[in-house]
Every structure is written in C-alpha cells, then in structure tokens.
Structure 1
Amino acid sequence: MSFRTKSLLYLFFFMLVAIVSAVQYASAADKNAILAEVGPYKLDAKTFEEQIKSLPPQLQMMVAQNPQAKEQFVERWTQITLLAMKARDMKLDQDPEVKSRIEDLKNSLLAQEIIRKEIDKDIPVSDQEAKEFYEKNKAEFSQPEMIKARHILIRPQGNSEKAWKEAEAKAKDIKKKLEKGADFAQLAKQYSEDPGTKDKGGELGLFPKGRMVPEFEKAAFALKVGEISAPVKTQFGYHIIKVEEKKPAETKPLKDVMSQVKQMVKMEKQQNELEKLIDQIKTKYPVKIHKDAISALQVESPAQTQAVPHPTKSK
C-alpha cells in the first residue's frame, strides 16, 4: 500500500472520529460563567470554548472576531438542546435505531479522546528523517509536464457522415479566421459548443497528460506556445486548440517542501502508533470480520447526471 493511500485512510479515520467533536454536550460544572440555560442544561464558558476549538480554523476566526457569531453559536446550542428535550419527551431516545446511533456517536467520541491522549501529540521529526522520507517518496513531490490551453469545439449535428463533414468545414472556416488574426477567446465565445468553457473563451486551464482523450492530448502536447492546431477530430466533434503555456516536469527540492515533508513523517509516525495501539487492543478484544456478509451487501449508488461533451477522458 502506497504512503498516499495509507495517509488517506489515516485521515479518513481521523475525520470519522472528529465528526462528533462538535456534538453539543452541556456541562453540569459551574466553574465558569453561564452563557445560556435550557431547562436542566447549562452552557458555560469552558464548554463554549471547547466547542469553538472543534470547529475548522476559518470558523474559529469568524467566531472570535464577530460578537454576533458568538451569539448565533449560543442560540444554536439552545435550539439543539430544546429539540433534544422534545425528542426525549417523545421517548425517541428509547427507539432502538436511535439508541444504536447514539452508541455509535459515543464510540466515536471515545475513540477521538483515545487518539487525542495517546496518538495526537508532539512527535519530533529530524532533518535526517525528513531527508530519508523525501528520497523514498520523491514521486509525491513531482509535477508532470503540463500545458495551459484553450479550445473551440464544433460538434456534428447528428452522427451521419454529412453532419461530421459539415462540422469539419465549419471548424476549418474558424481556423482561417484565426490565421487572419481573429482573437481566439472571442471566437470561442461566439462559436464553441462546449458549454463548460465557451463563456471563458475556451479556457481549459493547466492539465497533464492522461487527462484528455488521446486525439486531443496528442495534438495539444505537440503544439508550441502560441501555436494553434488544425481541426482535431475526437468523439465529441472537431477541436481547434491553442496552447498558451507549457510547464516542464519537475521535482520540488527538499528545501522548498521541508515543512510539508516533516508533517508527512509525523503523520506516518502517528499512523504507526495508531496501528500498534489497535493491534494491542485486539489482543484483549478479538475482532471478526465476516467477508461473505460484506460481499452480499447491496449498496445503491447515488444518481449521476449525464456528462457534458468535453475533451476530458470518459469515465
């Protein structure tokens, strides 16, 4: 398993247990100023601060700088507490499905606390460790050759040979206008039939090899900066391509990514510590995974919208 894959799994685990970090629990301790009360529940300053710290940094800054945001947060707490009290009056907390979900939330919160106490701590990373990691994972800091381009797409009106010939003829006429000095972006806005880029003058942005369909990619990467292609036929129609910038493949030097590398090494160490902790716990609480039952599960995929014709590869 690659470092990137393991890291994504590790982050996904942290995200799962962090979801409940903002769940509202009232504190019964009266050690700080009381900000709000709902029946027997109280929100004190200490609990408020802990809940704010669980928010993303941008939201933390917003609450810190905006008194109204603080009031809205407290108001939100009162609303949630009121709704929870009503749910208890309706005995929803005794519903088997709700009880199961509450237990899941409790498990997630407890798992988060274990990680915070045992794993999420300051772990030193030396320059030598960072260098060794960088050398083993240089691909993580490599950027492939990329180009920035625009295109004008002319689609055939139907799939007949005549329709394709008419589309090609129209594309060739547009190419002649460009050869006479017409502005590419203006012609793209006027003629292109790619709704995703038409209003942006045909701009596709930067992209590496492997992103576009083969015919488009071959033609685009063969062009020099400022050069405009002849009409290129793909499954979507005829494209006229203009390359505006080329970026050669490169690997970022260690000095430019040192802080990032050290953070990745720290994450790897934390990941190893987490795996050791889980293996240790398994000796006391054996785990059984029933793969046959998992394979038999039927999970519905969300509805997908139909893709708009574009030179990117079909999925």
Structure 2
Amino acid sequence: MLRASLISLIALGVVAQEPPKAPAAPAPAAQVPAPAQPAAPKPEDVLLAKVGGEPITEADFQAAFRLLGQQEQMQILMVQGGKEEFVKRMAESKLLAVKAQRMGLDKTPAFQRALDRTKDDLLAREFLAKEGEALQKRLMVSEDDVKAFYEKNKDRFKQPELATVRHILVSVKREGEEKGLSDAEAKAKVAKIQAELKKGAKFEALAKKYSDDPGSKENGGLYEDADPSTWVPEFGAAARTQPIGKVGAPVKTQYGYHLMKVESRKAARQVPFEEAKQVAEQGAQRERQAVVWNELMTDLRKEIPFELTKPSPTDKPESKPAPKAEPKAEPKAEPKAEPKAEPKADAKGGAQ
C-alpha cells in the first residue's frame, strides 16, 4: 500500500491541488488606486457543511482531496459540480460517523486498532509528500536507462508469429445438452455455407449470418494479428498452415466445425527498440521505483529499529489440563426396575 503511495504521490506528482484560478484582469489604463480588497478567509474558516453540530470546512475538503488518486482529483476539478458532489459525500460519511459515535462504536478495541493503522498510513503519506521533490529526482529515468532495460529484457520484446483469420463456427451439441445441432446436422449446415461461398457470397456476410462465435460474428468472423498458440490446437494449426486467401476444409474442434480463411501471417520477430520504446520506458520506471523504494526502506531501517518475526511452528498456546472427573457413586439397584436399554449413538457418533 505504501509502495503504491510512493508511485501515486511521487512518481505521478500527486500533491494537494486547488481548482485553476481565472487569469487576472488587466490593470485599468488610468492609474486610479484600487480599493483595498478584504483578506481571503482561511480554509478552516470556510464552512461547507454541518452535520450533528460538527462543521466540514474548506480545510477538511483539501485534506480529503489530497488522499485521492490523480484521476479522481482531475474529475473533481474539471467536472461541473464535482466539488459539490464530493462535499456531499463527505457530509454523508460524517452523518454515518456521528451515528456510529453515538452508538459507542468508536470505543471498541477493533476500532481503536483500525484507527491506529489509519494514523500510521496517513503519517506515511505525509512523509512521502514531504520528501516528494527529492524522491522525484531519484525516480527519473534517462534514455540510456530505457535502452539498458530493453537490452536486458530482450525476451520480453519478442513478437510471436501472428495470424489474421476469419472463420465461421457451426457449433455442435455437446453431450448432455438438449439444444443444438447434432454432428450430422452441423456438417449439413457447413455444406450449405460452402455452397453459398461457391456461388459468390462474401465470407464476411456469411459469418454475420451463420457463425455461432459471438466474439467475432458481428465483425465478419475476424480475429486480427492474433497469436495462434492461444487458440485450440486444431484451429491454431490451421491458422499456421492453411493457404492464405482461400477457404480451407472444415476444421473440427471441441466447439464444432470451423470454415477458416487466413488473410495474412506475420513471422515471429524481435521488436526493435524504437518500436518498443514506450513499453520499455514503463518497465524501466517500474524497476527504478522498486530500487528507490528499497533504498528508502534500507536507509530508514538503519535509523529506526525494524524487525519482522514469524511465530515458531512449535509455539502453541499452552493448553490447560482438563479437570479430572470426580468418581461417581454406583447407583443402588432397584429391586423391581426393568433394565434400561443402552442409548444408541447417532450416525456421526455424536460429532457435529
């Protein structure tokens, strides 16, 4: 969580922001002294809402605003009424909090532990924000850093063989299913589609009309620049070997019968640096963030005692010996009593 704070507060430059101010009006031509303007009220003096007698001020809004992600901050700043809606949510949260407080829920041990945990997280955020400028400099990556990351991770930038394929799926009813075509019925439907293709019908139009594949049906059966190894084996093999531009023989898979038309294939290749630069830069930045975080933690551990402990597998809570049962006195036999039947154990032997 705190590592994410480093990225959001430092790498993304998320700091307390205020709505953009309108540009200052040009000074009047005549040098007439402007009347003195009253001092702007302090944020803590600007009342935005009041719940249960407790105020929500502009200072409260700004404090909550700082904890948001960059995208949420931009929505509040740019969307009309965004701030008002956020203040409403703050007031509703306060409403719940006041009710919980009146119920005494803030006095429970669980709440106190959660409060301490939240306090730690907020203080950590404050520290990261205060050190933000120095950390930002350490997070920057150069062109050489990006190239080095690319060279070190060339296997990540290998593009597999790709194929662009159109297909028409005629699904077959599976065992246990009530609806759908039998194998013979599916073959007959495939033959009908093949006959329409021979008469000059467009493959794309027939895919929209007949295909049972919802993922490509409306797109004329198209899968563009896909890795054949991600498809079922029979379909992938046909995508690699079938003549380009021709509709091949029906291909049987677990889904049914496919009429396939391979439109193009691209050989596997090493993606050049210029083409992979953007992805490589993101990888270099993530790598640098991890390094900076680990260095920060190492420096702090030198200053502040730090220890992670794991309970030993043999460390178990001591169990108190069960109290010994007092011996029961033997009951006196009743001369005329019938012998009682032994109680029968239930199916589980009494265990729940």
If the length of structure 1 is used for normalisation, what is the TM-score?
0.70
- Structure 2 residue aligned with 1:186, among 205, 209, 215? 205
- Structure 1 residue aligned with 2:77, among 64, 68, 79? 64
Q: How far is 1:220 from its partner?
A: 1.5
Which residue number in structure 2 is paired with residue 288 of structure 1?
A: 309
Which residue number in structure 1 is paired with residue 42 of structure 2?
A: 31
> What is the letter of the counterpart of residue 285 of structure 1?
F
Which residue number in structure 2 is paired with residue 312 of structure 1?
A: none
Q: Deviations over 1:91-122 (max 9, x none)?
A: 22233444444444333334444444557522
Is contact 2:49–2:55 with CA below 8 Å preserved after alignment?
yes
Worse-matched range after superposition: 52-61 or 190-199 = 52-61
SS of 2:144's equivalent in the other structure is: helix
- Structure 1 residue aligned with 2:280, among 219, 241, 261? 261
- Whole-angstrom distance in 1 between the partners of 2:189 and 2:109: 66
SS of 1:182's equivalent in the other structure is: coil
Matched, 1:151 2:163: no
Q: How far is 1:64 from its partner?
A: 2.3
- Whole-angstrom distance in 1 between the partners of 2:106 and 2:7: 22
Q: How far is 1:151 from its partner?
A: 2.1
Q: What does residue range 97-246 of structure 1 map to in structure 2 within 5 Å?
A: 97-117=110-130, 120-123=135-138, 124-159=140-175, 163-246=182-265
Q: How far is 1:217 from its partner?
A: 0.6
Q: For the structure 1 residues 102 and 222, does the alpha-carbon distance in structure 2 shift closer, same or farther, using more than 3 Å as the test? A: farther
- Whole-angstrom distance in 2 between the partners of 1:191 and 1:12: 53
- Whole-angstrom distance in 1 between the partners of 2:287 and 2:312: 28
Which residue number in structure 2 is paired with residue 271 of structure 1?
A: 290
User: What RMSD in Å do the two structures reach over aligned CA positions?
Assistant: 3.7
Q: How far is 1:66 from its partner?
A: 2.9
Q: For the structure 1 residues 206 and 261, does the alpha-carbon distance in structure 2 shift closer, same or farther, using more than 3 Å as the test? A: closer
- Whole-angstrom distance in 2 between the partners of 1:277 and 1:175: 67
> What is the letter of the counterpart of residue 270 of structure 1?
Q
Matched, 1:76 2:89: yes
- Whole-angstrom distance in 2 between the partners of 1:290 and 1:185: 64
- Whole-angstrom distance in 1 between the partners of 2:275 and 2:60: 40
Aligned length: 272
- Whole-angstrom distance in 2 between the partners of 1:252 and 1:35: 57
- Whole-angstrom distance in 1 between the partners of 2:131 and 2:255: 55
> What is the letter of the counterpart of residue 234 of structure 1?
T
Q: What does residue range 298-313 of structure 1 map to in structure 2 within 5 Å?
A: none
- Structure 2 residue aligned with 1:40, among 54, 61, 64? 54
> What is the letter of the counterpart of residue 286 of structure 1?
E
If the length of structure 2 is used for normalisation, what is the TM-score?
0.64
- Whole-angstrom distance in 1 between the partners of 2:243 and 2:62: 57
Matched, 1:87 2:100: yes
Worse-matched range after superposition: 79-88 or 169-178 = 169-178
SS of 1:157's equivalent in the other structure is: coil
Q: How far is 1:239 from its partner?
A: 1.2
Which residue number in structure 2 is paired with residue 14 of structure 1?
A: 4
Q: For the structure 1 residues 142 and 41, does the alpha-carbon distance in structure 2 shift closer, same or farther, using more than 3 Å as the test? A: farther
> What is the letter of the counterpart of residue 147 of structure 2?
K
Q: For the structure 1 residues 53 and 291, does the alpha-carbon distance in structure 2 shift closer, same or farther, using more than 3 Å as the test? A: same
Is contact 1:147–1:245 with CA below 8 Å preserved after alignment?
yes
Fraction of identical pairs, as percent? 35
Task: Give the structure with higher Rg (CA).
Answer: 2
Q: How far is 1:250 from its partner?
A: 4.0
SS of 2:182's equivalent in the other structure is: helix
SS of 2:81's equivalent in the other structure is: helix
Q: How far is 1:205 from its partner?
A: 4.2
Is contact 2:150–2:273 with CA below 8 Å preserved after alignment?
yes
- Whole-angstrom distance in 2 between the partners of 1:277 and 1:54: 21
Q: How far is 1:287 from its partner?
A: 0.3
Q: For the structure 1 residues 166 and 254, does the alpha-carbon distance in structure 2 shift closer, same or farther, using more than 3 Å as the test? A: same
Q: For the structure 1 residues 98 and 254, does the alpha-carbon distance in structure 2 shift closer, same or farther, using more than 3 Å as the test? A: same
Q: For the structure 1 residues 78 and 254, does the alpha-carbon distance in structure 2 shift closer, same or farther, using more than 3 Å as the test? A: same
